[in-house]
Amino acid sequence: MFAKIEVNGDGAAPLYRFLREGAPKEDGATEISWNFAKFLVDAQGKVVKRYTPKTTPEEIAVDLDAALG
């Protein structure tokens, strides 16, 4: 549970590969550039949106409310 894992590259953990591919950055890149990147995933397991490390939980609230319907 506390082992170091890769989030980018060929050795990326499956979860991070799924998140990156499901919500690329605005420029189309999929790499996670900082460890505080956030992802919103809906109840069906679809990646809804990626957020920058500086995005606060309050800024995500609107999207979260919409996802919860």
Kindly report, residue by residue over 15-26, the tens digit of the pLDDT.
Answer: 999 999 999 998
* Domain range enclosing 45: 14-27+34-68
- Angle at Cα 21 formed by Cα 17 and Cα 27, nearest 5°? 125
48 assigned to some structural domain: yes
3 assigned to some structural domain: no
pTM for the model stands at: 0.83
Share of the chain above pLDDT 90, in %: 77
Burial 21-49 (b: 16+ CB within 10 A, else e): ebbeeeeeebebeeeebebbeeeeeebeb
The domain total for the chain is 1
59 assigned to some structural domain: yes
8 assigned to some structural domain: no
23 assigned to some structural domain: yes
Tell me: pLDDT of 69 over 90. Answer: no
- Is the separation of the CB atoms in 47 and 18 below 8 Å? yes
**Could you tell me the pLDDT band of residue 10, with boundaries at 50, 70 and 90?**
very high
7 assigned to some structural domain: no
43 assigned to some structural domain: yes
